[in-house]
Amino acid sequence: MGRRPKAATEGTEATAEAVAAPIVRRRRRSTTVDHNAQGQILIESLLKSRGERGATQEEALAVVTWARGVHAEAAELKALTTRVRRAKTENAAERQIALGVNQALLDGVLSGALAIDVNEVGAITFRAA
């Protein structure tokens, strides 16, 4: 015969506490990106950095496409990291570093700490807001 559980030996006090304590279940956090809200913030940042020059539709589209590419790369790398053998063949380490930099830049623009701009060549540039 084994030992009796502590709750069985203490009597009804332990069972009353066990019943009174609520069961807390964990929920998975799923983050859904609101591309419309992000697009508006990015375009506002672009227009602020350009001043009176304004921005063309192509420049605004380049900025929004860059942000969506950052999210797509994050999702793809998340899928790659679950498959270790496949991740080794597709240079996941270098891609993780580039993704970290791009996410930091995107977070900076969305928080208002950085301003985003598109230069004459068509490359996206960042500066302090």
Q: What are the tens digits of pLDDT across the range 16-63?
A: 555 667 777 777 766 777 888 888 999 999 999 888 888 889 999 999
* Statement: residue 68 has pLDDT above 90: yes
- Whole-number average pLDDT of the chain: 81
Least Cα distance to 109 among 91, 86, 127, 90 occurs for: 127
Banded pLDDT at 94 (limits 50, 70, 90): confident
Q: What is the mean pLDDT of residues 2-29?
A: 64
* Statement: residue 101 has pLDDT above 60: yes
Structure tokens at 17: 């506490």
Greater confidence (9 vs 32) lies with 32
Do residues 51 and 118 make contact, with C-beta atoms less than 8 angstroms apart?
no
* Statement: residue 69 has pLDDT above 70: yes
